[in-house]
Amino acid sequence: MTTTAPPTASSAVSRATRWQRMAAPAFTIGALGVATLALHVRDPHESGSWGYCPSAALGFWCPGCGGLRAVNDLTRGDVGAAASSNLLFIAILPLLVFLLGRWAVDRWVGREREPDARLVTVGTVTLCVVAVVFAVLRNLPAGSWLAP
């Protein structure tokens, strides 16, 4: 008598149809597109148009402060203003677009990638350290040029 192992999540993905595999990337890309369109239409440069940032209300700039304005500036083609709003977001954006595109292409062709745990850990720690350093710098007088 032979026993078979229960199906794993990765084997379930490989047996899914292309449209089933593409559901999550398509939904994610669509939601990001709608959010980007909303940020283009309703300008976050206007005070209170998207609410108020809690950290800015407390008197300091977090690593995300200016991110909404940066997206709005990018939708208008003004990369300089976007970088002035949040340089960290602009620096990381190409990596985010690459990872999102790779995820969508992998799902389209049915490729499965097992994430390298060490790479994920190193990347996460690096991003956190960079975000903390960025937040500290943009709140110091010498780094005021990084503030939104």
Tens digits of pLDDT across the chain (148 residues): 555 555 555 555 567 899 999 999 999 999 999 999 999 999 999 988 898 888 888 989 999 999 999 999 999 999 999 999 999 999 999 999 999 999 999 999 999 989 899 999 999 999 999 999 999 999 999 998 999 8
Q: H or E element: which one contains 32?
A: helix 18-41
User: Hey, which residues does 51 pair with through a beta bridge?
Assistant: 48, 49
Q: What is the pLDDT of residue 13?
A: 57
Residues paired with residue 49 on neighbouring β-strands, in sequence order: 51
Predicted local confidence at residue 9, as pLDDT:
54
**pLDDT (0 to 100) of residue 7:** 52
48 three-class SS: strand
Asked if 108 and 49 count as a contact pair (C-beta separation under 8 A), the reply is no
Q: What is the DSSP letter of 51?
A: B
Q: Which amino acid is residue 52, in one-letter code? A: Y
CB–CB of 73/64 below 8 Å? no
CA 115, chain centre distance (Å)? 18
Q: Tell me, what's the pLDDT at 104? A: 96
Q: Which of 80, 76, 89, 65 is closest to 43 using CA atoms?
A: 76
